[in-house]
Amino acid sequence: MNRADYTVLTVTFNNNVLTGLMIKSLYKQLTYLPQVVIVDNGTQLPADKMMKRVFKVVDNFNHKLLPDEHQPSRNHCAAINYAIMNYIDTKWCVLVDNDILFKPQFKQFIESVNVDEFDVYGEIGWDCTPPNRLFPYLCVMNVQK
């Protein structure tokens, strides 16, 4: 998959530092930046002004776009769905949490992905109780499907 095929999507909640470090680690591993969409779900700290100049930042600060659904995840799921439906214009979305750092293997992984073999790719498991689910901290999704 080449960089024109996918967009990196992350949702933030009051933590510009972690988001910046995640993006920096992505650039370090790829030596280029694909399209990046950041959904700002914060309630105390708006998205960094520099990020707004460089990336597509969807401003949901203090629930400007999406109502507060009182989810334990701070509207994380609703924000992901909203961004995919309205701001991702590539066929593929690499959904990442903003508190991850990319390893050197990511470049090899993303460049060798055979997009004809799957609709969604990521780790499957469970947190506290079953059922199994696809973990959203790093997964690749076919946006059209």
Q: Over the stretch 23-40, which tens digit does the pLDDT of each residue have?
A: 999 999 998 889 999 998
User: How far apart, in whole angstroms, are the C-alpha atoms of residue 65 and residue 82?
Assistant: 9
Q: Which helix or strand (DSSP H or E) is residue 53 part of?
A: helix 49-54
Contact 101, 92 (CB under 8 A): no
Q: What is the pLDDT of residue 97?
A: 92
Q: How far apart are CA 6 and CA 95, in angstroms?
A: 10
Q: Is the pLDDT at 127 greater than 80, yes or no?
A: no
DSSP β-ladder status, 133-142 and 92-96: antiparallel
Q: pLDDT by residue (tens digit) across 54-84?
A: 999 998 877 777 777 776 566 788 889 999 9
Give residue 73's pLDDT: 60
